[in-house]
Structure 1
Amino acid sequence: GLSSTIGDYGIFLQMLLNGGVYNGKRILSRRTVDMMTTNQIGEVNYGGGQDKFGLGFSVIMEKSEGRTPANVGTFAWGGAFATSYWVDPKEKMVYLFYRQLQNTSKGEMVEKFRAMVYQAIND
């Protein structure tokens, strides 16, 4: 696994959202970022429904009525003790939701908060 602070991981995700650039400096090539954040498993299903995997992230491939709002191309993942994050390139948004909880269902709280975030977007 990976160990990081929420601030440092936020910088990493912002760099990915910026196509490999952070604070005016290129860290990763655009091609590398594209490989990390697009489907790398083809038609293989991993149990997450229509989502696929990039290199280190799940990637939303299509919108679905029964799921929490998120745009196609959004990439996300989480970690132990109820940490989660997602990056929505269409909305230019990085989201981190870090808690330190053991033996808990992290999904419901995260999904409710994600829904509130998308409801707050006013185009």
Structure 2
Amino acid sequence: MLLNGGSYNGKKLLAKRTVELMTCNQINDISFRNGDKFGLGFQITSESGQARLGLSKGSFAWGGYFGTTYWVDPVKNLVCLIFTQQSPLKGDVHDKFRALVYQSLEN
């Protein structure tokens, strides 16, 4: 639904502008890890953040306490989810998963 501008199965669930506000920088010059930004509910991949694991600039993501996470990459038309159910999260399984997803794509 978020990848499709607020529509799912032909039904409008959110206005396109609502999705735009949720998935664009709302914190101006403040930076998060790797220079990433935050929208209204999502971490937004920045240009410097994209260099780290290959997510496209503008991808948006969120994670849960027990290691669940997902991201949407509008450029590559991807919605990716990983559910690890671990607290505290150990190792770099999320980074490895992201890297494997992008390595498996054809250019």
Place the TM-score, normalised by the shorter chain, in its bin. Answer: over 0.9
Shift of the 28–84 alpha-carbon distance from structure 1 to 2, 3 Å rule, reads: same
Output one character per residue of 1:47-82: Cα deviation in whole Å (capped at 9) or x when no partner: x13100001111012045861111001001101111
Task: Report the TM-score when normalising by structure 2.
Answer: 0.92
- What is the aligned-residue RMSD (CA, Å)? 1.5
Fraction of identical pairs, as percent: 48
Q: Unaligned 5+ residue runs, structure 2?
A: none
Q: SS of 1:86's equivalent?
A: strand
> Are 1:21 and 2:7 counterparts?
yes
1:103 corresponds, among 88, 94, 101, to 88
Contact 2:34/2:49 (8 A) holds in 1: no
Shift of the 66–34 alpha-carbon distance from structure 1 to 2, 3 Å rule, reads: closer
Number of aligned pairs? 107
The aligned residue for residue 79 of structure 1 is 64
Contact 1:81/1:99 (8 A) holds in 2: yes
Q: CA deviation at 1:99?
A: 1.8
